[in-house]
Amino acid sequence: MTVLPFRRKQRAYEARQQGLVLDDDWHRPSVKWGLGTAHVLLLVLLVIVGLGPILWLFKSAITTTQDTIVSPMALFPHGIAWSNLTDAWNNLDVGLYLKNTVVVAIGSWISAIFIATTGAYALSVLQPRFGKVIMAALLTTLFVPAVVLLVPLYVEVVDPPFIHHSFAGNYFAIWLPESANAFNVVLMKRFFDNLPREIFEAARIDGCGPFRLFFNIVIPMSRPILGVVSIFAILASFKDYLWPLLVLGDTNANLQTVAVHLPQIEPFTPLGDFLAALALSALVPIVGFLIFQRGFLRGTGLSGALKG
Amino acid sequence: MAEIHFEGVSKVYGDGTRAVNDLDLAIGEGEFMVFVGPSGCGKTTALRMVAGLEEITDGTILIGDRVMNHVSPKDRDIAMVFQNYALYPHMTVEQNLAFGLKLHKISKPEIARRVHEAAAALNLDQHLQRKPKALSGGQRQRVALGRAIVREPAVFLMDEPLSNLDAALRVQTRGEILTLQKRLGTTTIYVTHDQVEAMTMGDRIAVMREGVLQQQGTPEELYTRPVNTFVATFIGSPAMNVVPAPVLKLGSDSSLVGFRPEHIRVGPALNGSVGFNAGVEVVEYLGDEQLAHLRLGELSLVAKLPVADHVEPGTAAAFAVSREALLFFAVDTGFLTDPPS
Ligand SMILES: Nc1ncnc2c1ncn2[C@@H]1O[C@H](COP(=O)(O)OP(=O)(O)OP(=O)(O)O)[C@@H](O)[C@H]1O
Ligand SMILES: [Mg+2]
């Protein structure tokens, strides 16, 4: 026997020893079959719950309305209806509303990142005199449910102080409030707090002022958290319903996002086309995530800057 | 190149800790000054005040003839080497070295020249395109050093730059730092808690304790004329033996007498020396010499003896110290005093 399988066995053994169920217990038939079945069931359940609806959506997007209504779970009893997709794109203007959504998402993303990074930088690195008070105030806002703020925020956007020009029917009505996200600021501040101060000090001695320190040192070192906040901000604005409905309204329907538009047209739309429209809109965040996940979520190798 | 002056400098932290107390010290142009002292004595704080990373509570610090108290770090013409290197993790070695130069608006060809010169001097040419995480500890240390050198500053500040290296690398890098500093002639403050490092590297040494400067001088001055018992026992390894004077039948109760381990010899007291009988407890054989741990009543002493001397652990023997080697200290203050006549 070679050494390798033994090592692998040994490692698997050690891994199991760290679990709740000891390795020796696994040899008892009752444990083996009982827990083994439970594992498999759990996995199947997770796949069904997590992936099932998405797969069903994509299947139904290319199934005729008839088939979807008669036998929703059947796999293409009367062939694949690719025409759903073209109909949705041409007749339902999915393209336009997707473009609107992307514009909203990008704007929200920029303003969220801008405020989260600069706010966190001020609180964590520059540390103004009343930083602690501001931080406490920020934390308190986390305890206020968003729905409670709906009306005050609406009043603010329709009649903003100093400007007195309504933002309603304008993307700024979404972009500006999106930036005021205490959670993102707190998340970002926590990350900045853990960046080693010596590196900032080295940079200051090397000649960095506060702006250079921010752009040349802090931001490049924060790629993982920038990815997290980006995903939060983009997904939130992608799926937001209530706020765009309120501030973009349907007076000028060409501005609306898919998340608001699709539910509105649902009653007047053939089911097949509607599901195709849903699938097309869902595709954008899914593909986006798949493309960017590596760059965003992978650690960026901050190790090596400091000796442990 | 510049001199550094501390004039009555104190640092009190927000929580009331008095980390540096009324420090007066002048560091000459091109001098290699070592701050040494036990942990928490305020060495780092003093250094950081020179760097501008810590506000000065009281007194003034001058670099050259400029008062630095309210000058920002980037305008002080200094470079600092941190204990844990503090390299920029997202930049390559080359970018790490060039970063400070770019910010100081040095021309591109000049940056390239300095970076390659420093890289060659520090043996980093092979690694210029690597990120810090792909370097060994010693290489990172050299990058940190290189980042300071390329700046060609008036002052180098180094805070325990070698403490993360293993013993062999430490001795080697110690030599490299000294060679570089002598070649560049840059005024340097070097912080360490290792007195051997201080003795071997420093042109002059400042010994600190609990925020107070105890003594400053050349390694030889500190070794031969320590101003008090703290410096006497802190400098030198093994430490100086300090015993109450009456034990050696010298002077009164109010005196302590100190003598270095190498000044003890085996045998009865001759003219001009004092003798004592002590038990030999342990003998450490070092090859070129041996350390004998002696017991004299309640007291422990260490003697550094030639290997030719035969001292048997568990026996008692006569030892002697030349009177010229004795230093006297006051019991109450610990200060060096004149020998009793
Ligand atoms: N930011 C701070 N706030 C409050 N007290 C501090 C701060 N930094 C250091 N001190 C205190 O000041 C004193 C001197 O600290 P300092 O770091 O200068 O010591 P050191 O001589 O460098 O010690 P070491 O050899 O351990 O590095 C210590 O008592 C320390 O606890
Ligand atoms: Mg220190």
Q: For residue B133, give the nearest of A207, A208, A304 by CB distance.
A: A304
Q: CA-CA distance, A254 to B287, in Å (whole number)?
A: 91
Among B89, B57, B55, smallest CA distance to B70 is for B55
DSSP string covering B151-163, please? T--SEEEEESTTT
On whether both A53 and A92 belong to a single domain, the answer is no
Nearest CA to ligand 1 atom 14: B42
On whether both A189 and A272 belong to a single domain, the answer is yes
From A30, A58, A81, the end of a domain falls on: A81
Q: Is residue A4 part of a domain?
A: no
Closest-CA distance of chain A to residue B336, Å: 40
Domains of chain B: 4-233 (3.40.50.300), 239-337 (2.40.50.140)
Q: Is B14 on the interface with A (CB under 8 A)?
A: no
Determine, for residues A212 and B147 on separate chains, whether the beta-carbon distance falls below 8 Å.
no
| Any ligand 1 atom below 6 A from CB of B45 | yes
Closest-CA distance of chain B to residue A216, Å: 10
Q: How far is C-alpha B104 from the geometric centre of its chain's CA atoms?
A: 32
Determine the average pLDDT of the residues in B237-254. Answer: 89
Determine the average pLDDT of the residues in A8-13. Answer: 60
On whether both A267 and A132 belong to a single domain, the answer is yes
**Bond from prior residue into A5 cis (ω within 30 degrees of 0):** no
Can you give the CATH number for the domain in which A190 is found? 1.10.3720.10
Determine the average pLDDT of the residues in A244-270. Answer: 78
- Indicate the pTM of the whole model: 0.82
Determine the average pLDDT of the residues in B53-57. Answer: 95
On whether both A109 and A246 belong to a single domain, the answer is yes
On whether both A251 and A139 belong to a single domain, the answer is yes
pLDDT of A305 > 60? The answer is no
From A47, A81, A115, the end of a domain falls on: A81
Q: What is the pLDDT of residue A308?
A: 40
Which residues are placed with Cβ below 5 angstroms of ligand 2, an ion?
Answer: B 44
* Confidence band of A13 (pLDDT split at 50, 70, 90): low
Q: What is the pLDDT of residue B41?
A: 94
Q: CA-CA distance, B285 to B303, in Å (whole number)?
A: 12
ipTM for the whole complex:
0.88
Q: Is B82 on the interface with A (CB under 8 A)?
A: yes
B244-248's contacts with Cβ under 8 Å and 24+ in sequence apart are B244/B331, B245/B328, B245/B340, B247/B276, B247/B296, B247/B297, B247/B299, B248/B274, B248/B276, B248/B321
DSSP string covering chain A, please? --HHHHHHHHHHHHHHHTSSS-HHHHTSHHHHHHHHHHHHHHHHHHHHHHHHHHHHHHHHHTS-HHHHHH-TTSS-TT---THHHHHHHHHS-HHHHHHHHHHHHHHHHHHHHHHHHHHHHIIIII--TTHHHHHHHHHHHTTS-GGGGHHHHHHHHHS-TTT----TTSTHHHHHHHH--HHHHHHHHHHHHTS-HHHHHHHHHHT--HHHIIIIIITGGGHHHHHHHHHHHHHHHHH--HHHHHHHTTTTGGG--HHHHHHHHGGGS-HHHHHHHHHHHHHHHHHHHHHHHHHHHS----TTSS--
| Any ligand 1 atom below 6 A from CB of B16 | no
Closest-CA distance of chain B to residue A182, Å: 28
Q: Is residue A121 part of a domain?
A: yes
Whole-number Å distance, alpha carbon B163 to ligand 2 midpoint, is: 11
Q: Which of B10, B18, B44 to mutate to test the pocket of ligand 1 (most atoms within 8 A of CB)?
A: B44
* Confidence band of A301 (pLDDT split at 50, 70, 90): very low
Q: Is residue A6 part of a domain?
A: no
Q: CA-CA distance, B304 to B235, in Å (whole number)?
A: 16
Q: Which of B20, B41, B195 to mutate to test the pocket of ligand 1 (most atoms within 8 A of CB)?
A: B41
pLDDT of B268 > 80? The answer is yes
Determine, for residues A307 and B151 on separate chains, whether the beta-carbon distance falls below 8 Å.
no
Determine, for residues A203 and B88 on separate chains, whether the beta-carbon distance falls below 8 Å.
yes
Among B26, B96, B25, B81, smallest CA distance to B51 is for B81
On whether both A116 and A76 belong to a single domain, the answer is no
* Whole-number Cα distances in Å, B46 to A197, B25, B191: 18, 11, 9
Read off the pLDDT of residues A159-215 as tens digits, 9 standing for 90 and up: 888 888 888 778 888 888 888 888 999 999 999 999 999 999 999 999 999 999 999
Q: Is residue A12 part of a domain?
A: no
On whether both A98 and A227 belong to a single domain, the answer is yes
Determine the average pLDDT of the residues in B157-184. Answer: 90
Q: Which of B9, B17, B197, B212 to mutate to test the pocket of ligand 1 (most atoms within 8 A of CB)?
A: B17
Residues linked to residue B38 through DSSP beta bridges, in sequence order: none
B66-67 vs B241-244, strand pairing mode: unpaired
* Confidence band of A19 (pLDDT split at 50, 70, 90): low
On whether both A63 and A29 belong to a single domain, the answer is yes
Read off the pLDDT of residues B214-242 as tens digits, 9 standing for 90 and up: 999 999 999 999 999 999 999 998 999 99
Q: For residue B11, which atom of ligand 1 is closest to its CA?
A: 12
Whole-number Å distance, alpha carbon B43 to ligand 1 midpoint, is: 8
Q: What is the pLDDT of residue A240?
A: 84
Contacts of B78 in chain A (CB under 8 A): 205
Hey, which of A228-237, A279-288, B316-325 has the most confident mean pLDDT?
B316-325
On whether both A285 and A147 belong to a single domain, the answer is yes
| Any ligand 1 atom below 6 A from CB of B15 | yes
Whole-number Å distance, alpha carbon B39 to ligand 1 midpoint, is: 8
* A77 phi and psi angles, rounded to 5 deg: -65, -35
Determine, for residues A301 and B131 on separate chains, whether the beta-carbon distance falls below 8 Å.
yes
Hey, which of A135-149, A260-274, B146-160, B241-255 has the most confident mean pLDDT?
B146-160
Determine the average pLDDT of the residues in A72-89. Answer: 78
Whole-number Å distance, alpha carbon A220 to ligand 2 midpoint, is: 28
- Backbone φ/ψ region at A164: left (φ over 0), alpha (ψ -120 to 50), beta: left
> Number of structural domains, chain A?
2
Read off the pLDDT of residues B99-118 as tens digits, 9 standing for 90 and up: 999 999 999 999 999 999 99
Closest-CA distance of chain A to residue B271, Å: 57
In which domain, by residue range, is A112 found? Answer: 88-306
Nearest CA to ligand 1 atom 28: B40
Residues linked to residue B191 through DSSP beta bridges, in sequence order: B35, B159
Determine, for residues A208 and B89 on separate chains, whether the beta-carbon distance falls below 8 Å.
no
Q: CA-CA distance, A210 to A53, in Å (whole number)?
A: 49
Q: What is the pLDDT of residue A307?
A: 46
| Any ligand 1 atom below 6 A from CB of B84 | no
Q: Which of B20, B45, B47, B195 to mutate to test the pocket of ligand 1 (most atoms within 8 A of CB)?
A: B45
Whole-number Å distance, alpha carbon B44 to ligand 1 midpoint, is: 7
Select the residue from B44, B103, B147, B170 to test the A interface by mutation, using most A Cβ atoms within 10 A: B103
On whether both A204 and A242 belong to a single domain, the answer is yes
Determine, for residues A301 and B99 on separate chains, whether the beta-carbon distance falls below 8 Å.
no
Among B322, B320, B339, B318, smallest CA distance to B330 is for B339
Q: For residue B104, give the nearest of A201, A207, A216 by CB distance.
A: A207
pLDDT of A26 > 80? The answer is no
Neighbours of B315 (CB within 10 A): 9
On whether both A96 and A122 belong to a single domain, the answer is yes
On whether both A77 and A92 belong to a single domain, the answer is no
Whole-number Å distance, alpha carbon A248 to ligand 1 midpoint, is: 57
- Tokens encoding B274: 């004092």
From A81, A110, A126, the end of a domain falls on: A81
Q: Is residue A157 part of a domain?
A: yes
Q: CA-CA distance, B140 to A305, in Å (whole number)?
A: 8
- Tokens encoding A262: 């699709």
Q: What is the pLDDT of residue A295?
A: 61
Determine, for residues B140 and A307 on separate chains, whether the beta-carbon distance falls below 8 Å.
yes
Nearest CA to ligand 1 atom 19: B40
Closest-CA distance of chain A to residue B154, Å: 13
